[in-house]
Every structure is written in C-alpha cells, then in structure tokens.
C-alpha cells in the first residue's frame, strides 16, 4: 500500500509541477522525480544529504538514522538520550563525520560506525544554526546571543566572537574554514574571519536576516531577510549583483546550495517547493513539487543537494527522499 501511495502521489506531483511551470512561463523547467523512497512514517525534525547524494541523515525526534539512498536501505539508527530532540545535524563533505545538536549540546560522530567522537556544550547559549567547513577543520555554532563559536575539530579548541548585536539566525562557512557568513535579527549579514573574528564586510537588510548561503570558494553569497530582501552578492562589494526575480513576499528557505560553478542556487521551501535560481540575474530556471503525505496539512523540503550538473536530490519532513534530473542547457548565461 505504501508503494502504491507513493506512485499515486508522484503522478499528482507531476501534474502539479507542469501546471506550476506554466504559471512562470516557458523558460521554467520542471521534471519528474527519478527516485522516490520513503524512509520514515514520522515527521522529521532535521535532515541532510551527502554531497554525492549517496546518504541521507535524519532525526525524527526519537532517533537519528543513516540511510543508503542508492540501495534504499537503512545503515543504522542511534537511539537513547543523545539521539532525542535533535533539531540540527549535518554530514561532512568526505562522509567521515556527522554532527547533531539539540541546540544545547553538539555531538560529533564517526559516520561509518556511528561512534561518538566529541561533545561540545553551548553553556548558557542556545544554538540557532550550525555549519561545518568542507575541509572538516572547523564547525561554527551560531547563538541567540549574537555570538558565534568556531570549534576546531582536530584539537577541540573553541574561539567565541560577537559579530552581531542580536540573535544569529543562520550561518555558513567557507570551504577552508577561514571565513564565516552570519545573518542576524539586527538586520545585518556579516562576513568575518573565523580565526580572529574581524569583520570583512557587512550587508544591510530591511528586516532580520533568516537565511544565508556561501559558495565554497567564498566569492559569492545569498542572503534572505524576513520580508523582501533576497540578494546575491559578490562578497568583495556591498552592492548586490542580483535579487530573486519574484513578486512573492515572505519567502522562506530551509536549505540552499550553490552549483554549476556558482551559476545556480538551489533552494528548499517549507511549501514542498524546490527551486533553481540563476545567480547572474535572479531568474527562476526550474521548479519542482516534492512529495506530500495526503493526510498531512503540509510538507516541507528540509534539505537539497546538487549531486551533479544534471541531477539533484531532496528530502521532505514526511521522510521521503527524491532524486530529480536537471536537463537545462549549459549555456554561459545559465
């Protein structure tokens, strides 16, 4: 029955995707999911997909599970007190580690075995967001206090800085771990040195900044505030190079990632929607509608990943992983 339900839902999603593409004009691409796999009957609190799309890590509030997407099998689940109430997690780029947090403590595990490696406490702070450098040298913790801590994965040292006056809502870190980008309720997105805390550049918004993304080479960024500022930045400049080409207000992103040599930004929405944006001018290139359980009011896309130039993956709060083809002509403007 579960399989038949997924097939029916996939058909509905196809029809809905086609109708949505018509709303945005002929240039908006859409496609059918090539893979749709259900991993949990519970509502997921957090999830992440490995950079190559092979693995999905997720928390359903009671346990943390690692799933092999290629084989459609569960590798293992962690249970017990440390696996409960996990709201933040991530897989490292090499798939050597994964981290989890209940917003008070951070646990670092060996991914192959699930063995606990390290534990860090936020003390009196509450963690709003976490990111790990691609080279796995550092983890950044963003706090409600306006502070941020840089944790050295190898020698366990922690340096704490105060880049904002109010809550840090969102954080990203460069591939080498040397630069951090934070977005705050003080209406600022700030780029700063992770070793010294020195501010490199500040990007001003009209309201609180709820989401940031940083390209791996730390040359481009995307920032999104609570109402209508949604900018692409060349980080060497304080003027945005583009804004999202949409009239929709109150856009929310649960996740986003740059791809295609920084020409694309892929975003995950709380409203089942996955969108691909062109960085140069903010135009919408593609849109997909993810799976939603028919008995639930809504389903959020909580993680996305660009696997290759012609493939991406997503997972929803319904616990459904999907892989999607991307067949957009790779012209210089795209």
pLDDT digits (tens, 9 = 90+) for 98-151: 999 999 999 999 999 999 999 999 999 999 999 999 999 999 999 999 999 999
pLDDT confidence of residue 9: 47
Mean pLDDT in residue range 204-226: 96
CA distance 276 to 269: 11
Look at the pTM and tell me if it is higher than 0.75: yes
CA distance 66 to 264: 28
Q: What is the mean pLDDT of the chain?
A: 90
Enumerate residues 6+ apart whose C-beta is below 8 A from 89. 46, 47, 48, 57, 58, 59, 64, 98, 99, 100, 101
CB–CB of 125/147 below 8 Å?
A: yes
Backbone angles phi, psi at 259, to 5 degrees: -155, 180
**24, pLDDT greater than 90:** no
pLDDT confidence of residue 248: 86
**6, pLDDT greater than 80:** no
CA distance 145 to 181: 16
**Residue labelled with tokens 């450098």:** 133
pLDDT confidence of residue 297: 64
% of the chain exceeding 70 in pLDDT: 90
Residue 11: pLDDT band with limits 50, 70, 90: very low
Taking only the tens place, the pLDDT of each residue in 70-101 is: 999 999 999 999 999 999 999 999 999 999 99
Chain CA centroid to CA 12, Å: 26
CB–CB of 99/59 below 8 Å?
A: no
pLDDT confidence of residue 138: 97
Q: What is the DSSP letter of 216?
A: T
**4, pLDDT greater than 60:** no
Residue 333: pLDDT band with limits 50, 70, 90: low
Mean pLDDT in residue range 42-60: 97
**305, pLDDT greater than 50:** yes
């Amino acid at each position: 029955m579960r399989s038949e339900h997924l097939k029916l839902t996939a058909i509905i999603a196809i029809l809905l995707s086609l109708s949505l593409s018509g709303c945005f004009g002929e240039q908006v691409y859409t496609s059918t999911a090539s893979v749709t796999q259900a991993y949990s009957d519970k509502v997921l609190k957090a999830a992440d997909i490995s950079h190559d799309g092979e693995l999905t890590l997720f928390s359903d509030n009671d346990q943390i599970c690692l799933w092999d997407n290629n084989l459609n099998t569960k590798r293992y689940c962690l249970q017990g007190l440390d696996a409960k109430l996990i709201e933040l997690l991530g897989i490292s780029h090499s798939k050597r580690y994964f981290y989890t947090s209940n917003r008070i403590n951070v646990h670092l595990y060996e991914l192959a075995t699930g063995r606990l490696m390290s534990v860090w406490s936020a003390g009196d702070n509450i963690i709003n967001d976490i990111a790990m450098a691609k080279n796995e040298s550092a983890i950044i913790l963003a706090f409600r206090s306006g502070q941020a801590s840089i944790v050295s994965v190898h020698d366990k040292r922690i340096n704490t800085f105060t880049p904002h006056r109010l809550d840090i809502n969102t954080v990203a870190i460069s591939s080498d771990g040397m630069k951090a980008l934070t977005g705050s309720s003080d209406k600022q997105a700030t780029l700063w040195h992770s070793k010294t805390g020195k501010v490199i550049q500040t990007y001003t918004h009209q309201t609180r900044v709820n989401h940031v993304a940083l390209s791996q080479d730390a040359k481009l960024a995307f920032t999104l505030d609570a109402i209508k500022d949604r900018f692409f930045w060349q980080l060497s400049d304080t003027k945005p190079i583009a804004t999202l080409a949409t009239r929709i207000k109150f856009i929310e992103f649960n996740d986003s990632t740059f791809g295609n040599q920084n020409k694309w930004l892929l975003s995950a929405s709380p409203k089942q929607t996955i969108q691909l944006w062109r960085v140069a001018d903010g135009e919408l290139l593609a849109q997909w509608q993810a799976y939603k359980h028919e008995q639930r009011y809504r389903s959020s896309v909580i993680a996305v990943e660009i696997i290759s130039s012609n493939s991406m993956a997503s997972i929803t709060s319904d616990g459904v992983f999907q892989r999607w083809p991307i067949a957009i002509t790779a012209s210089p403007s795209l």
